[in-house]
Copies of this chain bind each other. A is one copy, B any other.
């Protein structure tokens, strides 16, 4: 997870949590994060698919939270953006003729799952409201 999707999504949701009830445009949000509005709309699309955001097209459109900030867990956000393995194993094709190479991906997966579990237990105890209230 070397890309900025987690912090971008959290940033978007924090803005929405603080302007609860009003619709924020992707341009406005992009201005706060300082990234391209198209990226914001992509993340919004993803968060909408995960039930955290509602959005409205057309003039005066924008995005808003789909449910109370207190009911959105940081682990929900993690799950929504998570794609690659936590400790990195992109593109690894060990030698299947080697006793270690043959099995290492399986053992790495087990290890990552274990570690991710610990991380998730942390994130499950923090809500978007907790985070947004720090500001």
Interface residues of chain A, those whose CB is within 8 Å of chain B, are 1-8, 10-11, 14-15, 18, 31-34, 74, 78, 84, 86-95, 98-101, 103-104, 107-108, 111, 114-115, 118-119, 121-123, 126, 131, 134-135
Number of copies: 2
Q: Is B94 a contact of A32 with CB atoms below 8 Å? A: yes
| A4: contacting residue among B5, B92, B131, CB under 8 A | B92
- Interface residues of A, dominant DSSP: helix
Interchain CB contact under 8 A, B100 and A18: yes
A32-B94, A94-B32 given; A100·B6 CB < 8 A: no
List, in ascending order, chain B residues with CB within 8 A of A74's CB.
Answer: 111
Given contact pairs A2-B3, A4-B89, A99-B135, a sample of 14 additional A-B residue pairs in the complex whose CB atoms are under 8 Å apart: A1-B2, A2-B2, A2-B90, A5-B88, A7-B89, A7-B108, A10-B108, A32-B100, A34-B92, A34-B93, A103-B135, A107-B131, A111-B126, A115-B119
